[in-house]
Amino acid sequence: MEWQNDVLAAANAANASIQGDDLSNLSRANTTRVGNYTQIFTKVVGSSTTVEWTKKAGRKSELARELMKAGRELQTDIEARATGNFASVAPASGTAGLFGGALAWLTSNTSKGAGGADGGFSAGVVAAATNGTQRSYTENLLKPVLQSIWLKGGAPKMVITNGVQKQNEATFAGLAQQRRETNNKRITIVAGADAYISDFGVLQFVPDRFASTRDALIVDPEYVNLAIGEAVTPFDLAQTGLAKRKALRTELTLEVTHEGALGAVRDLS
């Protein structure tokens, strides 16, 4: 799947024309063609004919229960891929297509450990970033990345991390009043941070069970989304024995329409 990226020309405070003068054509930058391969996600479930007709405790159909679970598992598979540092892979005979994850796309606004290198889009594919030396996650690593995103036109709204890095965010300076009185007059210890008021707006600290353990992904949701070719579709598989089988499929990719509006603090311990 492909799309076009475009940028505004740099601001020109000296933009002025003489009264009555002719106007000349200006050179305008062309759009940039980028893309990401689509990925087909599938889940297969089955249940024996005996299990299906027998009376079961707590459910009517084992096949229906497994299909429901498979649907939720598909969503977690997609989430793990979309937020991760994964290269794209072109589909070919015997090779499944894979889309590049968000962390692999980023090159403009990243903080890396020693030896680390960005991946990014080039010549039709997205390369994964190279891991560097891990370091502690601090506010001083986050702030320059936020400024860099803002300078490139982004307005980040969330920082996505795993649970360990989410707890590290709670140690940033400025967590005010660590004890407070709740409505029931009990004293509550405030040990977490859900929002961060930066110089460039308010960001939500979002914990994600499937996020990278070593990276903080900074997102402006306006410029990244899942482009769905085929929504989740259930279908029957051929019955070849004493079992019924069903499957789910969906095909989609991650669309990053402005890589400069996202960022990452990489190589966190």
DSSP string, 206-258: EE-TTS-SS-EEEE-GGGEEEEEEEEEEEEEPPP-BSEEEEEEEEEEEEEES-
Four-CA torsion 34, 119, 225, 150, nearest 10 degrees: -100
Query: Is 0.85 surpassed by the pTM of this model?
Result: yes
pLDDT in tens, 8-22: 888 889 999 999 999
DSSP string, 93-146: TTB--BPPPHHHH--SSEE--TT-B--EEETTEEEPPBP---B---HHHHHHHH
Q: If you search the block for the tokens 């990401």, which residue do you land on?
A: 36
99 burial class (0-12, 13-18, 19+ CB within 10 angstroms)? buried
Mean pLDDT of the chain: 91
Confidence class for position 195, pLDDT limits 50, 70, 90: confident
Domain spans of the chain?
32-265
User: Which residues contact residue 118 at a Cβ distance below 8 angstroms, ignoring those fewer than 6 apart?
Assistant: 106, 107, 110, 112, 129, 130
pLDDT in tens, 23-61: 888 888 888 899 999 999 999 999 998 988 888 887 888
CA distances from 143 to 8, 109, 157, 186 (A): 25, 11, 14, 35
Average pLDDT in the 185-198 region? 74
Average pLDDT in the 129-142 region? 96
pLDDT in tens, 85-114: 999 999 999 999 999 999 999 999 999 999
